[in-house]
Amino acid sequence: MDPALSNRRTAPRSAGRLFLGKLLGAAMGAALGVAATLVAGAPALAATLPSALPSSSEVAAAIQPHRAIYTMSLLSARNSSKVSDVRGRMMFEWADACDGWTTEQRFQLRFVYSEGDEMAMNTNYTTWEAKDGLRYRFNVRKTINGEVDDDVRGEANLTPNGGVGTAQFSKPEPQEIDLPAGAMFPTAHTLAILDHARRGEHFFSRTIFDGADAEGATEVSTVIGQPGPAKDAAKDALLRDAQTWPVRMAFFPTHSDSAQPEYEMSLRLLQNGIAESMQIDYGDFIVNAILEKIEALPRSGC
């Protein structure tokens, strides 16, 4: 592979983190997760977080398990950006597994660079997270132009009441890392966003571990805007009569002292956990994700 093209892998690497947690993921990661003022500077640590889960059980009860398809494209790029186009799709699935939440994110993205080179990135990111927020399993596989670029697998555990935790990786190589006090997993973080939104709290920061790579946890600063109706409520019944919040998140690696985030994510998040739209800002270019199709999945009934 062209070394120059290989070096550019660092630009889209965070797109596999959604939430949404992944992003989203986380993160679209997640998430898959906002059109408010960005928090500038490094976020506060979450060591004072009293527990891994948000306080309101009503938030979790309102979640609608679902499968969503998003169309992804380049929204804008600076003149200095080497990325000239981005196209693709993302599938995000959030399911109720009785004792836990499962998420699956599949990205199919093609990056076109100003010199004419192209890069195809396919990512499959699956997780299981206990509903008490204390246990987490993750599996990430990413290919670049058909070649395996990342293959990550492992599990993580947190101690109750916001204590410390550990993550054990079985791939790409066995290792164990410590997680700081107050760390959260992606789904618990999404529920925390909704909990803060429902209570009218507009700013908070947390340390999130999503397992998207072996670099450890990430500091996430979140700004929540004023609620309103879904913009595309007529598109599907799942979007109607649901309160929606604009959310903006800034992601800071815990091993970095930089005041600038690694990337930022904006989204419109419904009270039932569905993301109506997302934007991922890498600094020199922004990727847009628009909801194309939404399908309800069954609740566990447990």
Which tokens hold the place of 22? 């992944």
Would you state the pLDDT for residue 21?
32
CB-based burial, 235-265: b 16+ in 10 Å, e otherwise: ebebbeebbbbbbbbbbbebeeeeeebbbbb
- Does any domain span residue 163? yes
Which amino acid belongs to residue 21? G
- Does any domain span residue 301? no
CA distances from 224 to 35, 68, 221 (A): 8, 22, 10
Q: What residues contact 256, with CB distance under 8 A and at least 6 apart?
A: 262
- Does any domain span residue 176? yes
- Does any domain span residue 168? yes
Tens of pLDDT along the chain (302 residues) come to 443 334 444 444 433 333 333 333 333 333 332 222 222 222 322 323 334 454 458 899 899 999 999 999 999 999 889 999 999 999 999 999 989 999 999 999 999 998 889 999 999 999 999 999 999 999 999 999 999 999 999 999 999 988 899 999 999 999 999 999 999 999 999 999 999 999 999 999 999 999 987 788 999 999 999 999 888 876 888 888 889 999 999 999 887 777 888 899 999 999 999 999 999 998 889 999 999 999 999 987 77
- Does any domain span residue 184? yes
Rounded Cα gap, residues 229 and 76, in angstroms: 26
Would you state the pLDDT for residue 87?
95
Would you state the pLDDT for residue 58?
85
Range of the domain at 128: 3-295
> Are the C-beta atoms of residues 165 and 179 closer than 8 Å to each other?
yes
Q: How many alpha carbons fall within 13 Å on the CB side of residue 273?
A: 34
CA dihedral (204, 209, 215, 221) in degrees, to 10, reads: -10
Q: Please count the structural domains in the chain.
A: 1
- Does any domain span residue 300? no
Would you state the pLDDT for residue 17?
39
Would you state the pLDDT for residue 241?
80
Q: What residues contact 58, with CB distance under 8 A and at least 6 apart?
A: 198
Would you state the pLDDT for residue 19?
39
CA-wise closest residue to 233 among 223, 241, 245: 241
